Amino acid sequence: MKPIYVTIIEDHDDFREGLNHVLQFTEGFSCVDAFYSVEEALPRLQDSDVILLDIHLPGRSGIESIGSIKQKLPTSKIIMLTVFDDDDHVFKAIMAGADGYILKKTPPAQVLTAIQDAAQGGTPMTPYVARKVLDLFKKYAPTPSKEHDLTERELEILGQLVQGLDTIELAEKLFISRETVRNHIKHIYEKLHVHSRSQAVAKALKEGIA
C-alpha cells in the first residue's frame, strides 16, 4: 500500500527531527521533506498528502502561508501545529482553510492518527482546540430566535433586501408592481417587528433568516 507522504515545516529542530524519524520508521508513512521555515520550504515544496505546519514560525507565519501553500499544492491537507491555543490564531487558520489543528504535545501515535484522518478528508482537532473553535462558532453563528412566520414570497423579498435592492429593482426582478413589493415589505416589517429596511436587513442577517 502506498504510504502517506508528509512534509514538515517547523522551526524547532528537536521537534522537527523527532517527527521526521517517527515518520521514517513507521509503516505507511513517508516524510518527503522537513523545513525550518516557509521561506525555505515554498520554492522546494513537493507534492505531499499532508503538510504539518507550525503556526508560529520565524519570518512568515504559518497562518499567512496557508494560502501560498494551498495554491502550490491544492490537494495537500494542512495540519497546523500549535503550542497552546490562541483563539485569534485558530480563527485565522480556519478561515485560511487549514485541515487540522493539533497541539505539539500530542503523543506521536496520535499525530500519526491525525495525519491519517486528514489524508482521508477529516479535520483532526485536539479536543482542547475544538472547544475553542466551538466557542468561537457560537459567538459568530446567527442565533435563530423566534418564529418569523414569513411566507415564501416574503422570504424571497427579504433576501433581495439583504442583497441591497431597492423597491423598483425588486419589482422589476420579480415582474410585479412596485406597490406589491411595498405591500410585502410592510408585512415583513410587521412580522419582524421592525420599522425600516435596515432594521429588517440587520434582523435577517443576525438571525440567519436570509
Partner DNA sequence: GACAAAATGACTCAAACGGGTTATAGAAAA
Partner DNA sequence: TTTTCTATAACCCGTTTGAGTCATTTTGTC
* Type of residue found at 116: Q
4's grid cell: 502517506
Contact between 45 and 70 under an 8 Å Cβ cutoff? The reply is no
Q: From the list DNA, its own copies, none, which binds 100 (C-beta under 5 to 8 Å, kind-based)?
A: its own copies
Q: From the list DNA, its own copies, none, which binds 177 (C-beta under 5 to 8 Å, kind-based)?
A: DNA
Which residue in 83, 109, 141, 168 binds its own copies (CB under 8 A)?
141
123 binds its own copies (CB under 8 A): yes
Contact between 190 and 149 under an 8 Å Cβ cutoff? The reply is no
135: number of Cβ within 10 Å: 10
154 binds its own copies (CB under 8 A): no
53 binds its own copies (CB under 8 A): no
155 binds its own copies (CB under 8 A): no
Helix, strand, coil share of the chain (percent; to 5): 55, 15, 35
Would you mind telling me the total number of residues written for the chain in this entry? 210
Q: Is the dihedral of CA 55, 126, 15, 24 positive or negative?
A: negative
201 binds its own copies (CB under 8 A): yes
Three-class DSSP category at 6: strand
25 binds its own copies (CB under 8 A): no
Binding site for DNA (CB under 7 A): 151-154, 166-168, 174, 176-177, 179-180, 182-186, 189, 195-197
Of residues 131 and 195, the one with the C-beta less far from DNA: 195
Under rule CB under 8 A, how many of the chain's residues touch its own copies? 45
125's grid cell: 482537532
Q: From the list its own copies, DNA, none, which binds 164 (C-beta under 5 to 8 Å, kind-based)?
A: its own copies
149: number of Cβ within 10 Å: 9
159 binds its own copies (CB under 8 A): no
Which residue in 78, 114, 157, 170 binds its own copies (CB under 8 A)?
114
Interatomic CA distance for residues 122 and 43, integer angstroms: 27
29's grid cell: 508513512
Residues of this chain that interact with its own copies (CB under 8 A) are 91, 94-95, 97, 99-100, 114, 117-118, 120-128, 130-131, 133-134, 136-138, 140-143, 161-164, 166, 194, 196-202, 205-206, 208
